[in-house]
C-alpha cells in the first residue's frame, strides 16, 4: 500500500506541475510579483540592494508555493477530480501530500532561479548549507499552509482571497521589508508566531560572513510549522469525503 501511495504522490505532483504550475500565470505570480514588489521598495528608497535579497528569496518561496493552490485543490474538488483519484489505490493523505509536493517542487525551481541570479549578479557568497536548511523546510511549510487554507473553503475565489490575507500580512510583519527589531514590541511578539519571520531571518544569517548557528534552530521551528499545517489539512480534506 505504501508503494502505491508513494507512486500516487509522485504522479499527482507531476500532473499538477504540468497542468497548473509551469504556466504563465503561476510563473508570474511566483517569481515576477516578488521581484516587482522588492524593486518598488528599492526605487522608492534606494540603498544597498543586497539587504533586500533575503526578503526577495523569502517572498519567492511564499508566493511560488501557493501560486496555484486554489486551482489545484478547490477547482479539482468542485469538478470531482480529487474524488476520481481516490478510485485508485491511494489514500487521502497521499493525495494531499501530492498537492503539497507539486507546490514545493515549483517553489524550489522559482527560488533556485532567484537565489542563483541574486548571488551571481551581486557577487554574494552565502553559506549554501544554511540556505538549504532554511529554503527546503520553508517550501514545504508554505505549500502546506496553502493547502490548509484552501481545504477550509469551497470556491476558488474564496481560497484566493483567504490566501492573500496571510501572505500580505507576513510580508509586512516578518521582516521582508522592515526589520522586526525596529517594530513596536507588540508587533515583534506577533511577528515571531509567523513562519516567514524565521525564513527571512534565517536567510539573512545565511548571507553573513560568519553565519549564525541559530539557523539550525530555525530549521526545527519551520519543521514544527510544517506539522502544524499538514495534519489539520489532511483531517479537513478527509472530512470532505465522509
For residues 2 and 47, which has the higher predicted lDDT (pLDDT)? 2
pLDDT at 84 over 80: no
Residue 103's pLDDT is what? 92
10-27: pLDDT as tens digits:
988 888 888 888 777 777
Residues 218, 199: Cα–Cα separation, whole Å: 8
Q: What is the mean pLDDT of the chain?
A: 86
Residue 121's pLDDT is what? 82
Residue 181's pLDDT is what? 85
Residue 44's pLDDT is what? 59
DSSP per-residue letters across 2-38? HHHHHHHHHHHHHHHIIIIISSHHHHIIIIIHHHHHH
* Burial class of residue 198 in the structure, from the number of CB atoms within 10 Å of its CB (0-12 exposed, 13-18 middle, 19+ buried): buried
Residue 23's pLDDT is what? 77
The Cβ-side half-sphere exposure at 29, using a 13 Å CA radius, reads 21
Residue 143 confidence class, pLDDT cut points 50, 70, 90: very high
Q: What is the pTM of this model?
A: 0.91
What Cα–Cα distance (Å) separates residue 123 from each residue in 57, 90, 100? 16, 47, 33
pLDDT at 224 over 80: yes
Q: What is the dihedral of CA 116, 120, 123, 125, to 10 degrees?
A: 40
Residue 46 confidence class, pLDDT cut points 50, 70, 90: low
pLDDT at 205 over 90: yes
Residue 118 confidence class, pLDDT cut points 50, 70, 90: confident
Amino acid at each position: 500500500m505504501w508503494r502505491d501511495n508513494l507512486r500516487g504522490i509522485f504522479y499527482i505532483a507531476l500532473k499538477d506541475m504540468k497542468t497548473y504550475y509551469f504556466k504563465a500565470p503561476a510563473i508570474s505570480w511566483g517569481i515576477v510579483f516578488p521581484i516587482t514588489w522588492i524593486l518598488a521598495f528599492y526605487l522608492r528608497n534606494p540603498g544597498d540592494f543586497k539587504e533586500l535579497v533575503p526578503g526577495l528569496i523569502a517572498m519567492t518561496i511564499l508566493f511560488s508555493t501557493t501560486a496555484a493552490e486554489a486551482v489545484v485543490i478547490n477547482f479539482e474538488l468542485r469538478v470531482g477530480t480529487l474524488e476520481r483519484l481516490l478510485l485508485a489505490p491511494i489514500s487521502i493523505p497521499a493525495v494531499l501530500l501530492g498537492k503539497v509536493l507539486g507546490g514545493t517542487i515549483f517553489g524550489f525551481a522559482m527560488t533556485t532561479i532567484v537565489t542563483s541570479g541574486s548571488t551571481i549578479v551581486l557577487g554574494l557568497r552565502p553559506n549554501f548549507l544554511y540556505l538549504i536548511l532554511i529554503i527546503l523546510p520553508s517550501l514545504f511549510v508554505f505549500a502546506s499552509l496553502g493547502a490548509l487554507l484552501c481545504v477550509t473553503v469551497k470556491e476558488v475565489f474564496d481560497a484566493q482571497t483567504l490566501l492573500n490575507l496571510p501572505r500580505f500580512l507576513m510580508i509586512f510583519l516578518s521582516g521582508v521589508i522592515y526589520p522586526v527589531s525596529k517594530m513596536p514590541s507588540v508587533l515583534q511578539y506577533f511577528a515571531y508566531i509567523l513562519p516567514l519571520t524565521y525564513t527571512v531571518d534565517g536567510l539573512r544569517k545565511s548571507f553573513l560572513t560568519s553565519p549564525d548557528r541559530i539557523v539550525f534552530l530555525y530549521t526545527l521551528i519551520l519543521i514544527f510549522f510544517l506539522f502544524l499545517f499538514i495534519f489539520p489539512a489532511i483531517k479537513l480534506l478527509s472530512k470532505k469525503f465522509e
